[in-house]
Structure 1
Amino acid sequence: MKPMKTQSLTLACAFLLAGCALGPDYAKPKLDVPAAYKEDGRWKSAQPQDAVPRGDWWRIYQDPRLDQLMDTLNRQSPGIAQAEAQYRQAQALLKQAEAGLFPSLGLSAGQSRGVSSPGQATSTSYNLSANASWELDLWGGLRRSVEAGSAKAQASAAQLAAIRLSAQAQLATAYLQISVADLQLRQLQANEQALAETLKLTRNQYQAGIVSDANVAQAESQWQSAQAQRADKQLTRAQLEHAIAAALGQTPASFSLPAPGAEPRLPSIPAGLPSQLLERRPDIAAAERAVAQANAEIGVAQAAFFPTLTLSASGGYRGASFADWVSLPNRVWSLGPALALSLFDAGLRSAQKEQAVAAYDASVAGYRLTVLSAFQSVEDNLAAQRLLGEEAASQQAALDAARRAETIALNQYRAGTVSYLNVLSAQSGRINAESTLWNVKNRQYAGSVALIAALGGGWQVPTPAP
């Protein structure tokens, strides 16, 4: 009776201790979140926040071709496929950690022939046994491992969302820049044609003795410069098209994107509240889950200082004859606990705990850095949205004035009242104003996509499983 009482007491103590878990309980790092964005305070959109799509955020540009490219990206992107595989890997690792909480069962059967002791004859024995073992989680090490694995899986899910959002943002930016490049190419071709007509007029005036050969050389130089600008913009367009093909998982030779018919829509993006940023950005969620994982790893390291208790049981049949192998006289069994503790490891476990604590401190610092970088990105792109809008309006006015000046100079040149230098100066001013305006518009489109990405797109933090 005493052995049974001892085992019962051991089991009772084990189950009581199983309710505790060593290591600090996780608490989300505290952050100083501002009540409003600095750059958003001086600019407010008349468009309500509900108008911003929460899922397919790129639909705010109202471009069917962009919608088709995004659909292809979500299905075929190698980068997204790689992140999805890594997420499945994290889920499998979590299942491995959860398996440690449960008993393991095994079954074995075999036949052996030999001499059991010196001087005896050779004999045959048959063995059939089932065995079970269960490591009791007395100190919470296994549960902390599951906690770490769960946080890692959640971080992987957030990382997948971050990679998907980044790929979508890069595709949207490249597509909008291609649209601007095509419209700019159309304008450059018109400039080239206008300069060709001016060159023809200047050559005719030179043949008539009205202007000198220097004017012809200047007109020809202007026309050649326009051709060079067009070739450079074609190169930019080709490189953007190749980038889109690679993002879609296609070879550049098999992909072609026709020129758009109209200028893309430029939406106004409301920023919302800074507190919402922590819930919308997947990279912030991934960094926060990394902190939770590192916190749980501290508990795993602390549990290594304490003994492990394993309950083992086995039972089966062992006999010398196959005919009566499975019979009551041949039954064997065993049952009992096993306690194991490492007494000396030359500071290994202490070093492992120090490593876990340092990893936690590093993850907290990384989380705060990620949040600060996110706020910086939002503020930068809010400022860009507001100031580039003002710059575009001023540049459009400058272009209108440059066009009027060019028209006046051309009319005066045809009438012979001014020299070609006046025309050259007016044309150069108009071309530079057009180029500057297109560059500003290009930055506006890129900035609008960057602001949506900085705000987290349409992604929402999944609710952790209880």
Structure 2
Amino acid sequence: MNRYLPTLSFGRIALVSLLAGCAVGPDYQRPALDLPQSYAQTAAAQHYALQKDIQNNWWTLFQSPALNALIEQAWAANPGIEAAQASLRAAQENVYAQQGYFYPTVQAGYTPSRTKLAGNQGGNSPGVQGNGSVISTTQNTPASEGGTAPFNAPVIYNFHTAQLTVGYTPDVFGANRRQLESAQAQQQVQRFQLEAAYITLASNIVAAAFQDALLRRQIALVQETITANQNALTLAQRQLGAGYISRLDFTAQQGALAQSRQLLPPLQKQFEQNRDLLRVLAGIRADGAVPGFDLSTFQLPQDLPLTLPSHLVEQRPDVRAAEEQLRSASAEVGIARAARLPQFSISGSAGGTASQFGQMFWNSGKFFELTASVTQSLFDGGTLKHREAAANESLRGAVATYRSTVAGAFQNVADVLHAIDTDAEALRSAADASAVARAALELTERQHAKGYQDRLALIAAEQNVRQAGITLAQAQASQLGDTAALFQALGGGWWNRNER
């Protein structure tokens, strides 16, 4: 009856593993959040559509085919997207790898050997084999009994061993389940970071396109101003020679020309640097062509989506990533706690061994072994205890980080909404100033035609129109940029994008 004891012990241990299995440590729960009930709704030039869903290609609302094509190219060629995709795939592979620990390990091994056993170790010979042969050292009559040398002789033999080994670590206290939970959370972190990379890349290209259009408008207006100042200086030089103006007036016009020329190099520098940025974002080589943009071609979306505050935490990729980091930290507490509890393992092996390859699995060569073990750390200098304490502190830090990320998300939305409101006011003021400047120019042109105003007054009025045009262009670009920033702040509509 004793021959059944190993099987009964193995079965009992397996049964205990199934019945006692539980995942120690805290089960994840989202922390309580004090969310605002509403946003400050402003911007008379645009209308907020509460709870309107955000389309995944929101930039198409600006109705610029060149912009749309550039973003599609960037998503296919930007190395940052490629890196984020690789990180996501690596995290998914880690999940698959962790899932493998739920299954037994099975290994097959074959070990051939050739051994020379010293005659002085005669008692350690393999002995009689299944085919009737004997592998043994030679043992002659010892000298004490009248024998003569040699008293023994070594033996040289071949031996073959093949075996199948099965090992299994029961997840009694859920350490593996917690590790899988942590790996899955990290995979989700990479997923949301990839979504954030898509949204950020699109937003950066949109902002750079608006900047390109603004700089083109500013450079054109500054060049017109320089040309007007050059014409004014030529006229002033003639008037100085005729005695109609003083040297002081002529010097003032020289200063105006110099000041207008000073404005051009910084704008040209910004323009070229912005073009370089567009190339990098879109994955275009340094000497590649980049489309140009014009402010007049962009359409300002009139209906802006506005998510409920309670939905923002579900839509922002950075908030979702922070929550998954929190979920991973929660699982790490369970992993550390399980490490302080008894560790179980089961292993078994079966095979054959013989001096001849073909005889390994004769009845005489077969063997098996079943082993179960339980280990419990009794003293480790407090290592496991402090690792659990560290995991708990990391969990508290992750909670704080999550709440901080949520607060930052709401601040981001609030800042953009206030910026849109300010943009609307700034645009109205700039439009009014531009209209006033144009009206003044028309009046000056009529007075100049009748001889009531000189050429310098007309040039000054034209300069005022161009300066008002620069301010108006800045206000338009700012409104376009902040409108795009709202789509990004609300999550960018990634949940409506097809899997790539």
TM-score scaled by length of structure 1: 0.91
**What's the CA shift for 1:34?**
1.7
Which residue of structure 2 lines up, in the alignment, with residue 374 of structure 1? 409
Q: 1:363/1:377 Cα in 2 relative to 1: closer, same or farther (>3 Å)?
A: same
Aligned AA (1:150): Q
Which residue of structure 1 lines up, in the alignment, with residue 34 of structure 2? 32
Which residue of structure 1 lines up, in the alignment, with residue 15 of structure 2? 12
The answer to whether the 8 Å contact 1:77/1:249 transfers is yes
CA distance in 1, matches of 2:450, 2:270: 40
Residues 154-174 of structure 1 show CA distances to partners (whole Å, capped at 9, x for unaligned) of 111001111221121111100
CA distance in 2, matches of 1:315, 1:182: 79
2:181 to 147, 154, 162: 147
With 429-438 and 154-163 compared, the bigger mean Cα shift is at: 429-438
Aligned AA (2:17): A
CA distance in 2, matches of 1:335, 1:43: 79
Q: 1:249/1:95 Cα in 2 relative to 1: closer, same or farther (>3 Å)?
A: same
The answer to whether the 8 Å contact 1:413/1:420 transfers is yes
Determine whether 1:246 maps to 2:294: no
Q: 1:423/1:436 Cα in 2 relative to 1: closer, same or farther (>3 Å)?
A: same
Residues 205-247 of structure 1 show CA distances to partners (whole Å, capped at 9, x for unaligned) of 3343322333333333323333332332222111110011111
Which residue of structure 2 lines up, in the alignment, with residue 62 of structure 1? 63
Aligned AA (1:114): T
Which residue of structure 2 lines up, in the alignment, with residue 386 of structure 1? 421
CA distance in 2, matches of 1:444, 1:347: 59
Determine whether 1:330 maps to 2:350: no
Aligned pairs for 1:220-259 within 5 A: 220-259=254-293
The answer to whether the 8 Å contact 1:285/1:461 transfers is no
Residues 123-154 of structure 1 show CA distances to partners (whole Å, capped at 9, x for unaligned) of 22110111110000000000000010001101
Which residue of structure 1 lines up, in the alignment, with residue 475 of structure 2? 440
Residues 79-114 of structure 1 show CA distances to partners (whole Å, capped at 9, x for unaligned) of 111111111121121122111111100000121122
The answer to whether the 8 Å contact 2:73/2:283 transfers is no
**What's the CA shift for 1:444?**
1.7
The answer to whether the 8 Å contact 2:168/2:347 transfers is yes
Higher gyration radius (CA) = 2
With 165-174 and 246-255 compared, the bigger mean Cα shift is at: 246-255
**What's the CA shift for 1:77?**
0.6
Aligned AA (1:435): I
CA distance in 2, matches of 1:333, 1:403: 100
Residues 6-46 of structure 1 show CA distances to partners (whole Å, capped at 9, x for unaligned) of 4332221121012x110011111121122211x22686954
The answer to whether the 8 Å contact 1:144/1:297 transfers is yes
The answer to whether the 8 Å contact 2:295/2:477 transfers is no
**What's the CA shift for 1:314?**
0.7
Q: 1:82/1:238 Cα in 2 relative to 1: closer, same or farther (>3 Å)?
A: same
**What's the CA shift for 1:266?**
2.1
CA distance in 2, matches of 1:166, 1:418: 54
Q: How many residues align?
A: 460
The answer to whether the 8 Å contact 1:312/1:336 transfers is yes
Aligned AA (1:85): A
Determine whether 1:82 maps to 2:83: yes
TM-score scaled by length of structure 2: 0.85
With 321-330 and 386-395 compared, the bigger mean Cα shift is at: 321-330
**What's the CA shift for 1:433?**
2.9
Unaligned runs of 5+ in 2: 123-136, 138-154
2:486 to 451, 455, 461: 451
Aligned pairs for 1:270-281 within 5 A: 270-281=305-316
Aligned AA (1:188): V
Percentage of matched positions with identical amino acids: 27
**What's the CA shift for 1:434?**
3.0
CA distance in 2, matches of 1:31, 1:42: 28
Residues 299-351 of structure 1 show CA distances to partners (whole Å, capped at 9, x for unaligned) of 00000011111111111110112242332221111113122222211011011
Which residue of structure 2 lines up, in the alignment, with residue 200 of structure 1? 234
Which residue of structure 1 lines up, in the alignment, with residue 342 of structure 2? 307
Unaligned runs of 5+ in 1: none
Question: SS where residue 206 of structure 1 aligns?
Answer: helix
CA distance in 2, matches of 1:461, 1:293: 26
1:320 to 347, 355, 371: 355
CA distance in 1, matches of 2:42, 2:246: 59
CA distance in 1, matches of 2:279, 2:242: 54
Which residue of structure 2 lines up, in the alignment, with residue 354 of structure 1? 389
CA distance in 1, matches of 2:449, 2:236: 10
Determine whether 1:23 maps to 2:25: yes
Q: 1:208/1:415 Cα in 2 relative to 1: closer, same or farther (>3 Å)?
A: farther
CA distance in 1, matches of 2:237, 2:347: 103
With 421-430 and 295-304 compared, the bigger mean Cα shift is at: 421-430
Determine whether 1:187 maps to 2:190: no
CA distance in 2, matches of 1:317, 1:94: 37
Aligned AA (1:32): D
Q: 1:279/1:272 Cα in 2 relative to 1: closer, same or farther (>3 Å)?
A: same
Q: 1:191/1:295 Cα in 2 relative to 1: closer, same or farther (>3 Å)?
A: same
CA distance in 1, matches of 2:25, 2:94: 21
Q: 1:343/1:115 Cα in 2 relative to 1: closer, same or farther (>3 Å)?
A: farther
Residues 286-306 of structure 1 show CA distances to partners (whole Å, capped at 9, x for unaligned) of 000000000001000000011
Question: SS where residue 370 of structure 1 aligns?
Answer: helix
Aligned AA (2:161): N
With 321-330 and 63-72 compared, the bigger mean Cα shift is at: 321-330
**What's the CA shift for 1:263?**
4.0
Question: SS where residue 265 of structure 1 aligns?
Answer: coil
The answer to whether the 8 Å contact 2:108/2:164 transfers is yes
CA distance in 1, matches of 2:463, 2:455: 12
Determine whether 1:214 maps to 2:248: yes
Residues 48-78 of structure 1 show CA distances to partners (whole Å, capped at 9, x for unaligned) of 4687652112111110000111011101111
